[in-house]
Structure 1
Amino acid sequence: MKTNILLIGAAAGLLSACAATAVEPQAPAAAPAAEPAAPRPNASEQLSALFKESDEANLRRNPLSALFRGDMRYAGELGDMYTESYYAAERRAGEEELRRLAAIDRNALSATDQLAYDVFKRQTEVALRGLQEPLLALSAVRPIDHMTGIHTWYPDVASGEGAAPFKTLADYENNLKRHRQYPALIDKAIARFREGMAAGVVQPKLVVRNMIDQLDLQLKQGVEGSTFYGPVKKFPEGIAPADQARLRAAHAAVIRDEIRPAYSRLRDFLSSEYLPAAREGAGLVHMKGGPLLYDYLIEQNTTLPLAAGAVHQLGLREVARIRSEMESVKTKVGFKGSLAQFFEHLRTSKRYQPPSKEWLRERYEEVGKRVDARIGELFALTPKSALEIRPVPDYREKTDAAGSYNSGTPDGTRPGVFYYNTYDLPSRFTWGIETLYLHEAVPGHHFQISLAQENEALPNFMRFGGNTAFVEGWALYAETLWDELGVETDALQRFGGLNDEMLRAMRLVVDTGIHAKGWSRDQAIKYMLDNSSMGKTDATAEVERYIAMPGQALAYKLGQLKILELRARAEKALGSRFDIRAFHAQVLDSGALPLTVLEAKIDRWIAAQRG
């Protein structure tokens, strides 16, 4: 339309000039100047646009990701995470984003943008592989398990103490909208399980039994005792009494009439149909297509192209090294028996059992204060997000790990949370407190995740995304800072540090043992009890976690070893110029990098420091 107006205007000017010529000669009227073409975006601008558009599209496809960030634009949506159309949309997005990335001249980017380019490329390529056949056919038909299934974490999201806020009337209404979509997701999971049964790709019986137990526990809560009812037990100021009554009734109705029947359908299906078809062998080696999937999961989780056999042998060497250090601690405390007897002493003596849940909370708070007093010696870069210490909610404590971390919001309005487990309290040993805090809280997960989220200079996929090898590798590396932070000064607390390090070394052996070598659940539990002072409750939960989440547990030790290797390289190259605070900032200031990308970054930093 604008072009047509310009042409008409030019013609009118020409006619006016011709008419005037008979009276007084004039110069022809000039045609209006064409608008300048918009400058082509440079490489950095193209990259930034790609990252922004990719992130926005991802949030639309996965609205709960936005909710966890504190972005409320899609707060009334759960998303459609189990259907063919969902997976197809994820594939199309990945393929289009890689096409656009390839069109950007990487050499024209700054060093920081090149880092982001490399991370985005690798993460998208690996994710896309998992969305293609035959890998997708091996995972989509096993949509939930007892560790990562939506039934294990969505109740916490909606509990009134999780990611979903309950500050306004709109927050409560959005919660109800999500709840009304939840039963459909449960039914879609059942349909996926049925596809797996037809294809012979099923979960192990152990995982199925654990899911049934979890559903039974939630069903036993009833309506007003349900975790989902939590937000309407108390209201913030500003919610009118009439609205409070309406919301209580609406939440009770959706729990009673929609969520509980969906849970009953899933529970009955798992018990009567799926369990008989589930596989006896715990590891992927026993599942159709399992070895192919395990190879992929090793690379996906560790960001390294490693073979299961090599990881298994590395684990055996680490276990032997740590056992030697444990022997030294045993000698130092004057214990006269064997290492196995020392383990048994530590796991059975009442003197090492927390006297109460309240005592355990107070002890973690005390450790936190001691660490905070020294943290500035090692870190110039610290998060603004606060940290809270809470017990694991009772509905999931039986199958939960000894400790875990939930991230806060980037603006600090919702704190990060360190969860400690009080289930079977006599199995929660006092000598494991300090190292667990270093790993899950400060300077472990809370520092790494919060600093990434708070760095607005990073593209969102680096602020909020990442990989297990870096995230868990950093947390395990944080445990090695015990001496510099002034903790584990007591010999038994140092043993607790070694015991946790042994756990991560044993994971290399046990995870590969289960999924590549055909180890049984009981064989794996025995190996862990023979090589550490873990209690049987913890060892059982750990092994059952590895069965449900193949490859994930490998990332901890491999990530830690890489960060330690890079620190040693920097210390050797820089000598007296090595600054531990600067090194930690380099590791933490760009989010969770694939380990190969992190290595290249630290090498560049070392070169720059040397001049």
Structure 2
Amino acid sequence: MAVTVATRWPRAASRHSSNRSEPDPGRLPYMARRRAILLAVLIMLGIPNVHAQTQDAAPAAQLKALLDEDLDATLRRNPIAATVRGVPGYNHLLPDLSLATLERERARERHALERLRALDAKALHGQDRISYALLVDKMELAVEAQQFTDADALVLTTLGGLHNVLPRAAQVTPFRTAEDYRDYIKRIRAAPKVAEDTIARLKPGMVSGWMSTKPVLDRIVAAIDAHLVENAEQSALMSPFAHMPEDIP
């Protein structure tokens, strides 16, 4: 009995192994066709999905570019705000009040509104749709306000102007490194240009009558006079240098 089992087992194993390793040659073309058809169907189903995702991504990318451009323009108009927010790259700047820059900004606003209106807003989702609506509203108001050019002369108010931009910079700038002090010096050196641009904006207002009220201007004059000192070291603008860290050369 033991001999019989021993002589038959290899033959049985051989038949079993042959059945698993040698598929029916007649089935090969059929199986290959099935796999090819299945692969083609999967590819066809996937292509519209990829295409739809690409189409949706395009408006989102366009919106992001517009938002980034608007943020940069906003911070360049008010670089002191950039310093307050801790945004790098603006700490050496003062507001550019020149009429040429004003016209360039107006052109940017008009172009931005055109690009927003051409954007497929229906393809946006979630927060992007909210950001889109807010930016459209902002640009529409900005473009509408461009017709009121007389208001360009209102560059001196109790809330802002040449009289408080540098004192504000001295208060909010983080003075930790030598570069911080160099940026602050660049801001001080830019003050004469801000003064010239302010005067250029005020002159048309003197003709049209669009000026801040006398009580406001009186307070502004007093604020400017406070910085007219005989010794520069007594100026409030020099206060950051009085506390310069010893490790800064």
Structure 1 length as normaliser, TM-score? 0.30
Aligned pairs for 1:280-295 within 5 A: none
CA deviation digits over 1:342-362, x for unaligned, max 9? xxxxxxxxxxxxxxxxxxxxx
- Higher Rg of the two aligned structures: 2
2: CA distance, partners of 1:47 / 1:167: 36
1: CA distance, partners of 2:75 / 2:200: 25
Contact 2:156 2:212 (C-alpha < 8 Å) held by counterparts: no
**Correspondence for 1:203:** 212
* Pair 1:223-2:236 in alignment: no
1: CA distance, partners of 2:182 / 2:92: 8
2: CA distance, partners of 1:64 / 1:156: 8
Q: Structure 1 residue 62: deviation in Å?
A: 4.7
1: CA distance, partners of 2:69 / 2:198: 30
CA deviation digits over 1:507-558, x for unaligned, max 9? xxxxxxxxxxxxxxxxxxxxxxxxxxxxxxxxxxxxxxxxxxxxxxxxxxxx
CA deviation digits over 1:195-238, x for unaligned, max 9? 21122323322122111222223325852222101111111242
1: CA distance, partners of 2:66 / 2:157: 34
* Pair 1:141-2:153 in alignment: yes
Higher RCO (C-alpha under 8 Å, 6+ residues apart)? 2
**Correspondence for 2:83:** 67
Q: 2:68 aligns with which of 36, 52, 56?
A: 52
Contact 1:156 1:227 (C-alpha < 8 Å) held by counterparts: no
Q: Structure 1 residue 61: deviation in Å?
A: 5.4
Q: Structure 1 residue 103: deviation in Å?
A: 1.8
* Pair 1:172-2:187 in alignment: no
The percentage of aligned residue pairs carrying the same residue is: 31
CA deviation digits over 1:576-608, x for unaligned, max 9? xxxxxxxxxxxxxxxxxxxxxxxxxxxxxxxxx
Contact 2:80 2:91 (C-alpha < 8 Å) held by counterparts: yes
Q: Structure 1 residue 57: deviation in Å?
A: 4.5
From the superposition, tell whether residues 152 and 104 of structure 1 become closer, same or farther in structure 2 (CA, over 3 Å): same
Contact 1:76 1:175 (C-alpha < 8 Å) held by counterparts: yes
Question: Secondary structure of 2:211's match?
Answer: coil
**Correspondence for 1:42:** 58
* Pair 1:238-2:244 in alignment: no
Q: Structure 1 residue 79: deviation in Å?
A: 3.8
1: CA distance, partners of 2:61 / 2:201: 42
Question: Secondary structure of 1:235's match?
Answer: coil
Letter in 1 for 2:114: R
* Pair 1:101-2:101 in alignment: no
Contact 2:94 2:190 (C-alpha < 8 Å) held by counterparts: yes
Q: Structure 1 residue 124: deviation in Å?
A: 1.6
2: CA distance, partners of 1:95 / 1:172: 37
Q: Structure 1 residue 96: deviation in Å?
A: 1.4
1: CA distance, partners of 2:222 / 2:113: 42
1: CA distance, partners of 2:96 / 2:59: 34
Letter in 1 for 2:102: Y
**Correspondence for 2:143:** 128
CA deviation digits over 1:551-576, x for unaligned, max 9? xxxxxxxxxxxxxxxxxxxxxxxxxx
Q: 1:88 aligns with which of 103, 112, 130?
A: 103
Q: Which blocks of at least 5 consecutive residues in structure 1 are unaligned?
A: 1-38, 241-611
Question: Secondary structure of 2:226's match?
Answer: helix
1: CA distance, partners of 2:72 / 2:165: 24
Q: Structure 1 residue 104: deviation in Å?
A: 1.8
Contact 1:168 1:238 (C-alpha < 8 Å) held by counterparts: no
Contact 1:146 1:214 (C-alpha < 8 Å) held by counterparts: no
Structure 2 length as normaliser, TM-score? 0.70
Q: 1:185 aligns with which of 191, 194, 208?
A: 194
Q: Structure 1 residue 99: deviation in Å?
A: 1.3
Letter in 2 for 1:172: Y
2: CA distance, partners of 1:53 / 1:74: 15
* Pair 1:154-2:166 in alignment: yes
From the superposition, tell whether residues 192 and 46 of structure 1 become closer, same or farther in structure 2 (CA, over 3 Å): closer
**Correspondence for 1:114:** 129
Higher helix proportion, which one?
A: 2
**Correspondence for 1:212:** 221
From the superposition, tell whether residues 148 and 221 of structure 1 become closer, same or farther in structure 2 (CA, over 3 Å): farther
Contact 1:141 1:196 (C-alpha < 8 Å) held by counterparts: yes
2: CA distance, partners of 1:224 / 1:66: 27
Letter in 2 for 1:100: R
CA deviation digits over 1:92-114, x for unaligned, max 9? 11111111111222222213221
Letter in 2 for 1:126: L
CA RMSD of aligned residues (A): 2.4
2: CA distance, partners of 1:92 / 1:51: 16
Matched residues, number: 196
Question: Secondary structure of 1:230's match?
Answer: helix
Q: Structure 1 residue 142: deviation in Å?
A: 2.5
Q: Structure 1 residue 187: deviation in Å?
A: 2.4
